[in-house]
Chain A
């Protein structure tokens, strides 16, 4: 059973370009969470999605960032018109149920976005 798969592992974008980060949850997991890790910081929650629904986007910047989890295919975190401050590691996690049991997520290996 493959773990949470994120790609690409590294992504370099010039300022003003778009970045698309992909996350395939573990088999059987229908809940996906995106977190961002700025340099020398802990992970910070961005958004929680179920299939075709955004459940909680309270951690998402109001502009330029969007996320989706379609019925088929991976979850996508999209950053439009990237700026240098978007440089970070972006992690995806998945779970089979909402985090009510406190089991802790299964995280992917992250995508490191570098904006030049």
Chain B
């Protein structure tokens, strides 16, 4: 069975600073994808970034980047130059290439301090 663990229920960061959200996962499969989703108070689920497990290069989307450590099964999200609009719940998620489900972690609530 696949699991995703986010050990930080809440985090705070000063506006314009950098913050890293942690995620670990477990799977015996070798072909999978990892995601970070953002859920603002509007409840909309927004895909922030995705990573293919077979790629060693870390994915980057503007101010968002990941640190993918496959051997350690770690997938952290770094947000640079934090903005007030980044305040949200962030979910780490895993999908196997052969499956149709996404397995989500419990989320980390990120607060941005002005």
A residues lining the B interface (CB < 8 Å): 31, 33, 35, 40-45, 48, 55-56, 59, 89, 91, 93, 98-105, 107, 109-110, 112
B residues lining the A interface (CB < 8 Å): 4, 32-33, 35, 37, 42-45, 47, 50, 52, 91, 93, 95, 97-107
Tell me whether A44 and B104 are in contact (CB under 8 A): yes
Q: Inter-chain contact count A-B, CB under 8 Å?
A: 66
Tell me whether B100 and A99 are in contact (CB under 8 A): yes
Tell me whether A104 and B47 are in contact (CB under 8 A): yes
Residue from the list B42, B102, B104, B105 in contact with A99, Cβ < 8 A: B102
How long is the Cα–Cα vector from A55 to B100 in the complex, in angstroms?
10
Show 6 residue pairs from A and B whose CB-CB distance is below 8 angstroms, ordered by the A residue: A43-B91, A44-B104, A91-B45, A105-B47, A110-B43, A110-B45
